[in-house]
Amino acid sequence: MAQMNYLTACTFDFGALAQLPKVLKGLGVTRPFVVTDPGLKANGLLDALLQALSEPPAGVYSDTPGNPTEAAAAKAAADYRGAGADGIVALGGGSSMDLAKAVGLMVTHEGPYERYGGTQRGARFVNAIPPLVAVPTTAGTGSEVSVGFVLILDNGRKETFVSPHFIPKAAICDPELTLGLPPLLTAATGMDAMTHCIEAVLTPVVHPPAEAIGLDGAERAWKWLPLAVADGGNRDARWHMMMASFQGALAFVKGLGVVHSLSHALGRVSELKLHHGTLNAVILPHSLAMIAGHAEEKFARIRRALGLPANADLAAEISAFNKRIGLPHSLSVMGVTEAHWPSAREYALSDIATASNAIPFDGEKFDELFRRAL
């Protein structure tokens, strides 16, 4: 039996940030707490958000790390409580939005927080968090409409937390905030969105509306991502890439796959500090090569959406696309070695995304996927 939900109200277009006070008022939030990162504080986007607010926020946490941690979330949660805040505004990419969700969990739930992670085992303990408004500044993660977040716990595990309570109450998607995003970050976050769309289509979970959205998002990213990379000021490209990111997250309510499992596992290697979207881009062609022959009807639909010939090698096309937009071709180029695999293997196997992959995946298949991508 299919269960199909979409729950976030989204204000989408250039200039949407100006609607933030109205959105907060509609949610009954009078003392918002802003969660963002050092880069957005430095480049002026935090100032733009603060200027959009009709009143100063209760507080600001601007030290979100590239890969959100339990320690950072705990510090931000303490600041939230000390400020007497009654809601959260997340400004940034996936890291800030994920940290904001973790803050919401921490200010309403007692630890240890690892008990809330995973699939159904953790979700059943989660209750409502404070109202959260997400304001994305990249076009990739789609965390502004997703049911989950990823956090590196104090025990070293990079855990996925999933619950309908983690879906932001509202999203402000303003492509203006992505203008001038550097080419490499544009490419990496854009391929995060592309991977969301493709893996969501391929997962066998039944959700035809989400699958249709995933196909449209993939088509949009395929056309507009190279243009956004080539010209960071291309307004049409930025609009369509923010939409593709939004669609990717709407699509992956169906689930994801082993690209994300392996990406999450390698993303927890602290000394490498690997970018999630770049990992997805590198791993995706190799996952598609292993799935090929097992999901031909869906492969055909993806080819049609991307405007490829009926006999096109989808894995090879994605590899060529990565090269075209300037992304690395292998994990080894990113600093990954064979030595990183034994500890990452367990995390990949147990990741929530593995269960919804297009085909069953065991340890031997992960060994192969890692070797191919390395």
At which of 142, 177, 212 does a domain end?
A: 177
pLDDT band at 232 (very low <50, low <70, confident <90, very high): very high
pLDDT at 366: 97
- The total number of structural domains in the chain stands at 2
Least confident of 152-156, 247-251, 314-318: 152-156
Distance of CA 204 to the CA centre of its chain: 21
Tell whether 1 is covered by a domain. Answer: no
Instruction: Say yes or no: 119 and 201 in one domain.
Output: no
Let me know: does 199 contact 260? Beta carbons within 8 Å: yes
d(CA 334, CA 328) in angstroms, rounded, equals 7
Tell whether 22 is covered by a domain. Answer: yes
Instruction: Say yes or no: 29 and 146 in one domain.
Output: yes
Instruction: Say yes or no: 217 and 128 in one domain.
Output: no
Q: What is the mean pLDDT of residues 34-51?
A: 96
- Domain hosting 360: range is 183-373
Interval 145-157: pLDDT, tens: 988 898 888 887 7
At which of 154, 177, 200 does a domain end?
A: 177
Cα dist from 338 to 38, 362, 366, whole Å: 33, 19, 13
Ramachandran sector of residue 352 (left: φ over 0; alpha: ψ -120 to 50; beta: rest): alpha
For the cut 90, the answer to whether the pLDDT of residue 66 exceeds it is no
Instruction: Say yes or no: 51 and 22 in one domain.
Output: yes
CATH of the domain at 68: 3.40.50.1970
CATH of the domain at 244: 1.20.1090.10
Cα dist from 255 to 202, 252, 278, whole Å: 9, 5, 20
d(CA 225, CA 189) in angstroms, rounded, equals 10
